[in-house]
Amino acid sequence: AFVTPNAYSNVHQRSKISSSSRSLIVVESAKILPFAYTSASAALLIKATMATSKSEMAVLLATSTLSLVNLGPRDNAQLASAKKAFKNTPPASSGKAKQQRQAAKTWRSVVRIKIIGQLAGLLRMTCAKGTKGVMRGAAIIMAANVAFFLCGGGPSKHDDDGNWVPMPSNVSSAVTTIDAILSASALLAASSPVGSMRHAVSAGIFTAGAVMGTFEGLPKFLESMGRLFK
């Protein structure tokens, strides 16, 4: 079959539109994620001023800073990395090229799973009408990180340029264990009477983990702020 000039022109035009649409989605995603995490951070900060207990206030404040300093910049960078990795690895049927393609596909999937889970947890915390809801939302955030690693986030890790750089298995296992402990602590705090020792200790463990995550994300946050004000 032959392609007429008009048909070719239409196909070429659709291809250009499709390419432009994909580029627009990438740009919009880069804007939407920081806005979503910053908005969540602000909402949690306001909610902390109305907390009914010290443990709830601590969890809200810690998660607010975690969302702003760590989750937002990191997830935005990982989403961009996933898009670059998928674009730079064409389909392959065998050898190392196939492994790279599969790693890029896995990376793209697990990054999306984590982002959706974390945003769901932040939304749950923001909309919660009591301490239990706040703690359950906190548990969802950390559970999203656990799911990220259990689904292959460690072996499929890519750097900011979209290059495949697998995380050492021992590091991946350690981070997964820590996130699982933090998620379980938040769930235990949610199921414990407010004011009890069990509630205070469980909420304190989560708060400490969130604060550590904030310090961990500080360098990338400062780097992104530096680029913003250049």
The pTM of the full predicted model, rounded to 2 decimals, is 0.83
Write down the pLDDT at residue 228. Answer: 64
Give just the sign of the alpha carbon dihedral 91, 94, 97, 99: positive
**pLDDT, tens digit (0-9, with 9 covering 90-100), for 36-94:** 999 999 999 999 999 989 999 999 999 999 999 999 999 999 999 999 999 988 888 88
Burial string for 12-32 (b: 16+ CB within 10 Å, else e) reads: eeeeeeeeeeeeeeeeeeeee
Distance of CA 218 to the CA centre of its chain: 15
Question: Tokens 């301490």 — which residue?
Answer: 131
Structure tokens at 100: 């790279």
What is d(CA 228, CA 28) in angstroms, rounded to the nearest whole number?
16
Sequence ranges of the domains in the chain: 5-228
Judged against a pLDDT cut of 60, whether residue 3 lies above it is answered with no
